[in-house]
Amino acid sequence: METIDLISLRNYSRRTGQPTHPELLDARPLEHVNRIEIDEEHITIEFNEKTSRYYNTNEITHREWVHKYNDDPVFVAAIGRVIELARKHLKEMPENVACPPGCAECCSGYEPFVSKSDVQRIADHLGMSYEETLRRYVVERPSADGYHVGWLRKVGDDIADQCVFLMGSRSGRYYCGIYPARPNDCRDFTPIGCDDVDTSLPHKSSFKVGPAFQPKRRNGRRNGRRL
């Protein structure tokens, strides 16, 4: 069961008198909605009770979310519309949304935003300090709300260049070199709508990634070898 904070949405609706726009809701948990019930006291949402959906090879787990109802009719109507969108999205989603193994086209031409916790996770993963990780791998542009500190660097200055952590350029079979620690922006990236997706591919892939990204050390060594 999950409880999601919808108070800010309700306040917006009350403050402006406008129907709440779906974009103001963190709709990620609604992407895999299976059944919705709205009564006088609750909105009850069940996730994937019977169906299984796949994002690459990861099966999305079953979840259930119950949220306490409030008496703002505009708010409830707005939630209802968001829920309908989520149901439509679920119905139209193919059983398997598979990226061709080694594709990673989207890791070029895309600049994932990073928060402080993203940078700290990457720093811990690489065995580096927060400050050094920020300096080496992040283009610093703090957002107005202070949440994002910038975006990941690319290997060059061109917008189409690859993310600095993308590996596999020799073999042409690409993979993320910091996959377990990748930014939330990358985790949330959805291939739905991408022209390169191949829904005929099997759920399970035998694609084997290579070694993880290793930062260049100051002594000129990487992976124990002199560069």
- 3-state helix, strand, coil split of the chain in percent (to 5) is 30, 20, 50
Q: Which of 99, 126, 134, 138 binds ligand SF4 (CB under 6 A)?
A: 99
Alpha carbons 87 and 31: distance in angstroms, whole number: 8
Tokens 């957002």, located at residue: 143
The yes or no reply on residue 114 touching ligand SF4 (CB under 6 A) is: no
Residue 53 and residue 17 in contact, taking contact as beta carbons nearer than 8 Å? no
Q: Is 36 exposed, middle or buried (0-12, 13-18, 19+ CB in 10 A)?
A: middle
Alpha carbons 207 and 65: distance in angstroms, whole number: 34
Q: What's the min distance (Å) between Cβ of 153 and ligand SF4?
A: 10
Phi/psi for 164 (5° steps) reads -60, -20
Kindly tell me which of 78 and 166 has the beta carbon lying closer to ligand SF4: 166
Q: What's the min distance (Å) between Cβ of 206 and ligand SF4?
A: 17
Contacts of 7 (CB under 8 A, 6+ apart): none
The yes or no reply on residue 104 touching ligand SF4 (CB under 6 A) is: yes
Q: Which of 78, 107, 123, 134 binds ligand SF4 (CB under 6 A)?
A: 107
- Measured between alpha carbons, how far is residue 205 from residues 61, 100, 202, 209 in Å? 19, 9, 7, 11
Kindly tell me which of 83 and 99 has the beta carbon lying closer to ligand SF4: 99
Q: Which of 83, 86, 119, 176 binds ligand SF4 (CB under 6 A)?
A: 176
Q: What's the min distance (Å) between Cβ of 88 and ligand SF4?
A: 21
Kindly tell me which of 6 and 122 has the beta carbon lying closer to ligand SF4: 122
Please state, as a whole number, how many other Cβ atoms lie within 10 Å of the Cβ of residue 47.
21
In the window 179-218, what residues touch ligand SF4 (CB under 6 A)?
A: 182-183, 186, 191, 194, 196-197
Size of the site for ligand SF4 (CB under 6 A): 21
Binding string, residues 132-161; x marks residues near ligand SF4 by CB under 6 A = --------------------x---------
In the window 34-93, what residues touch ligand SF4 (CB under 6 A)?
A: none
Kindly tell me which of 45 and 103 has the beta carbon lying closer to ligand SF4: 103
Cα dihedral 66/71/73/75 (nearest 10) = -50
Residue 190 and residue 110 in contact, taking contact as beta carbons nearer than 8 Å? no
The yes or no reply on residue 126 touching ligand SF4 (CB under 6 A) is: no
Binding site for ligand SF4 (CB under 6 A): 99-100, 103-107, 112, 152, 163, 165-166, 176, 178, 182-183, 186, 191, 194, 196-197
